[in-house]
Amino acid sequence: MDADSLTQTLLTAFLSSAVLSTVVGLIFRGWAARLEMRVKSQHSWKEQSVTELLAPLNMQFARTEKAFRRWNSKNLYLEMKVVKAGNETIRDLLLAKGHLIPPELREDAGKLIEHYDVWLEKFEKQRLSENPDLNAPFVFVGPDGYPFPTGAERNFRETFKRYWIELYGDSGK
């Protein structure tokens, strides 16, 4: 092989390598950009889920739980102003912000919505009808086959805590 053909072969090899490197670099850069966009999108969705759904749910769960702890006898104010308002708020948040419910909690959301729908219906009949039953100590739907889904509430609270730590660190304690 003479010097001219060696030079031509080396130049061809160099140009081929340069073109191949450029193409591979562009492909990897595109993949990296898509991956970065996906990560940012997931972070943004999680942040929205926490601020618009999970944190407000967590506050309402805590509020109604504290009301139940104080509820040792018939207390229409507590039932109507705290429990009913909290139950409606939780149900309405789940219905309005369904797009922010983490996929693993969708079944739990359905259980909570069903419980609150039945509870609110019974509350309406028992307390707000033309002939309300004000002697009934509490409105409960557990005996009717719709007990409060404690596991669903726990799963929402745990997901809130996990997402909070992922997004903001452990400063929320």
Q: What are 46's two structure tokens?
A: 């999680």
Q: 135 is in which domain, residue-wise?
A: 43-168
Percent of the chain as helix, strand, coil, to the nearest 5: 80, 0, 20
Q: What is the mean pLDDT of residues 38-66?
A: 90
Q: Is residue 24 situated within a structural domain? A: no
Q: Is residue 68 situated within a structural domain? A: yes
State the Cα–Cα distance between residues 91 and 124, nearest whole angstrom. Answer: 15
Q: Is residue 122 situated within a structural domain? A: yes
Q: What are 94's two structure tokens?
A: 């789940």
Q: Is residue 139 situated within a structural domain? A: yes
For residue 163, the model assigns a pLDDT of 96
Q: Is residue 53 situated within a structural domain? A: yes
Q: Is residue 173 situated within a structural domain? A: no
Q: Is residue 27 situated within a structural domain? A: no
Q: Answer whether residue 25 shows pLDDT above 80.
A: no
Q: Is residue 108 situated within a structural domain? A: yes
- Claim: this prediction has a pTM higher than 0.85: no
**Number of domains the chain contains:** 1
Within 8 A by CB and 6+ apart from 116, the residues are 87, 88, 90, 91
